[in-house]
Structure 1
Amino acid sequence: MASEWLRIAGAVALPNICGNRGYYMKNPEVKEWASRLNWPHWAPRAIFPLTFIPLQSISGYASYLIWKEGGGFNENTMLPLGLYGLGLALNFLYTPITFGYRKLGLASVCMLAYSGVHAVTTYLFWNLDKTAGKMMIPLNFMLAFTTVVAVDIWKNNKKPNHVSED
């Protein structure tokens, strides 16, 4: 029973570790650069940490359900869990691309790819376990919103001598 709780805790923690922005946002130079971005007025910055942590936790639990109900990592779960892992990798890459390398165009492409991969993963989860599929849906909406915000930030920060390096 204790090992089951550890598996659940790991599944819930993993997407939050992959999306951790703490290192970059504690760096004073990064904070100053980010504060100069032309940010869309319709997208409050505070919404991101308030929504991503619970939504990624829920998707992590959904991945656990797929793993558990599917009998582990096997031919039935390989594609959905593999795509889920690809989404985690894209989520992990987004932060250093944006805040480390300051490549806003590439960051937008990365977020679009993550959003698409997550949508396909949701469909595959749904086919294996309806509950897990339903748990993935809210993050799809947030990723779509985040993609639009990322593209808007890229578009509005392309001026010469501005914040973007693209």
Structure 2
Amino acid sequence: MDWLYFCIFFAACLGAGVTGGLFPPGEWYRQLTKPVWTPPDWVFPVTWMVLYVCIALAATRVASLPDNGLALAFWSLQIAFNGLWTPVFFGLRKIRLGMAVVAALWLAVLSGMIALWQVDWVAGALFVPYLIWVTIASALNAAVWRLNPGEAQAA
């Protein structure tokens, strides 16, 4: 494994992840009605750290392989949407716009997984847990939108 590549891709993941510290959920989010299946708060940072390692490993595996352009383009797109969701949802408190961002993230992750798989099946498989988690996050965003129509309209 090329550790320099891994460190660069992992730094990009951490750059996206740091938005969680810059825009924490706070009291506004705690006051929202959420579905009963909402994961406890501690699950989010633990899950994201594991996923960021997988996401960085996937990119590292394909970085030096031929025909990796589309896979790395989708990798870049997903990390951009990944970093955008938290400031939109928690920073701006835009639940509907957050739904649009997480939908774009889901499509980018799915497309990235398929493109990575075509270059290196292990890299594509490393995106499977990510797609599952973003599916859960999308459902949670949609449920919060549905359960808080007044907040969704105001924001």
> TM-score surpassing 0.5?
yes
Q: Which residue of 2 aligns with 1:32?
A: 27
Q: How many Å separate the matches in 2 of 1:80 and 1:152?
A: 31
More helix by share: 2
Q: How many Å separate the matches in 2 of 1:43 and 1:5?
A: 36
Aligned alpha-carbon RMSD (Å): 1.8
Q: How many Å separate the matches in 1 of 2:134 and 2:14?
A: 14
1:165 aligns with 2:154: yes
Cα deviation, residue 45, structure 1: 3.2
**Structure showing greater Rg:** 1
**Count, aligned residues:** 153
Q: Percent identity?
A: 25
1:16 equivalent among 9, 14, 17: 14
Q: Which residue of 1 aligns with 2:3?
A: 5
Q: Which residue of 2 aligns with 1:49?
A: 45
Q: Which residue of 2 aligns with 1:73?
A: none
Q: How many Å separate the matches in 2 of 1:84 and 1:145?
A: 20
| Unmatched tracts of structure 1, length 5 or more | 71-75
Report the residue type matching 2:99 in the other structure. Answer: S
Cα deviation, residue 157, structure 1: 1.4
1:124 equivalent among 81, 106, 115: 115
Within 5 Å, give how 1:68-147 maps onto structure 2: 68-70=64-66, 76-147=67-138
| Unmatched tracts of structure 2, length 5 or more | none
Report the residue type matching 1:59 in the other structure. Answer: I
Cα deviation, residue 163, structure 1: 7.4
